[in-house]
Amino acid sequence: MVFYIIGLGLADERDITVKGLEAVKRSQRVYLEAYTSLLLVPKEQLEEFYGKEVIVADREMVEMEADSILEGAEEGDVSFLVVGDPFGATTHTDLELRARGRGIPVQVIHNASIMNAVGACGLQLYRFGEAVSIVFFTDSWRPDSFYDRIAANRRAGLHTLCLLDIKVKEPSLESLARGKKVYEPPRFMSVGTALQQLLEIEETRGGGAYGPDTLCVGVARIGSDSQRIVAGTMQQLLDVDFGPPLHSLVIAGDTHHIEQEYLEQFMVGRPGGPAAAAADEGGSAATGVVPPS
């Protein structure tokens, strides 16, 4: 019997690999991890395509009730579905270690993730440095620990992939203080919000890691029919509407002439290229992220 950790790819139910789909169809139970990233379609579309009930596994279940996910995997196959690639988050490594610790065979089935699909913007993957995560600021918490990593990448001439915060089924601080969890509406960081926070941090730190004139590339819904890629300075991208989530941002390092040539098609202000005006991307289930129910 096998515990499968299966990458789903980036966009919809059709991005699963043939090997992954075969494993899902053999499984007695199928879980969908739904907090490190999200597909652009609701879980009902996965269920129809896979022919299986899909159990949504939120942060609390994965981190606090992992044993319930592994329950029975000694007697029958269980699948754990991950948007992107299984090793895109450390949580999934922990789940694999737990399974192996119980003597349960584990098989990982890989797929595309933002870590490699970001190459669609034309910046070459081997020229990327350490990736960073940008989280939402609050009134009392404005983290900037990633600043030094961006600065180190830039000094080395390397590009930086910024993974932008998503919040799904997050309890409000007020409800936690009252001892009863009330979950906030889902929030997805946009390229614009990330840039605003980054520029605020640079103003505070003053280390010159980047600035309003630094070349960046914003990407949205990579791998879907509605994907959007726009390149420009930080200041220019502040005015671009990338449409519905999910968004990511790349802070460019030194660029090779081939990278520069490829980026030209995405530059703000290029005749026939992406406009800085708002793009009508809809927001329907077909193009926007629909949090799993």
The pLDDT tens digits for 116-173 are 999 999 999 999 999 999 999 988 889 999 999 999 999 999 999 999 999 887 655 6
* pLDDT tens-digit map of 55-102: 998 877 877 777 888 888 888 999 999 999 998 877 788 889 889 999
Angle in degrees, CA 117, 232, 241, rounded to 5: 75
Mean pLDDT, rounded, for 283-289: 43
Say what the pTM is. Answer: 0.88
d(CA 130, CA 153): 7
Strand partners of residue 159? 128
DSSP character for 265?
G
Helix (H) or strand (E) holding 18: helix 18-26
Phi-psi region of 87 (alpha: psi -120 to 50; beta: other; left: phi over 0): alpha
Percent of the chain residues topping a pLDDT of 70: 88
For residue 114, say whether it is annotated as part of any ligand binding site: yes
For residue 164, say whether it is annotated as part of any ligand binding site: yes
pLDDT score for 290: 56
Res. 288 pLDDT band, cuts 50 70 90:
low
For residue 10, say whether it is annotated as part of any ligand binding site: yes
Mean pLDDT, rounded, for 15-21: 97
**Do 255 and 215 meet the contact criterion of CB atoms below 8 Å apart?**
yes
Structure-derived torsion over alpha carbons of residues 205, 209, 210, 211, reported in degrees to the nearest 10: 40
d(CA 46, CA 64): 25
Domains of the chain: 3-112 (3.40.1010.10), 117-265 (3.30.950.10)
Q: Which string of DSSP letters, residue by residue, matches 92-160?
A: HHHHHHHHHHTT--EEEE----HHHHGGGGS--GGGB---EEE----SS----TTHHHHHHHHHTT-BE
* pLDDT tens-digit map of 243-270: 999 999 999 999 999 999 999 999 998 7
For residue 247, say whether it is annotated as part of any ligand binding site: yes
Measured from the Cβ of residue 170, the count of other Cβ atoms closer than 10 Å reads 17
Query: Is the per-residue pLDDT at 19 higher than 50?
Result: yes
For residue 113, say whether it is annotated as part of any ligand binding site: yes
Three-state SS letters, 200-258: HHHHHHCCCCCCCCCEEEEEECCCCCCCEEEEEEHHHHCCCCCCCCCEEEEECCCCCHH
Query: Is the per-residue pLDDT at 285 higher than 50?
Result: no
Strand partners of residue 144? none
* pLDDT tens-digit map of 102-112: 999 999 999 99
d(CA 227, CA 246): 10
pLDDT score for 286: 37
**Do 186 and 244 meet the contact criterion of CB atoms below 8 Å apart?**
no
Q: Which residues contact 279 (CB under 8 A, 6 or more apart)?
A: 228, 241, 242, 243
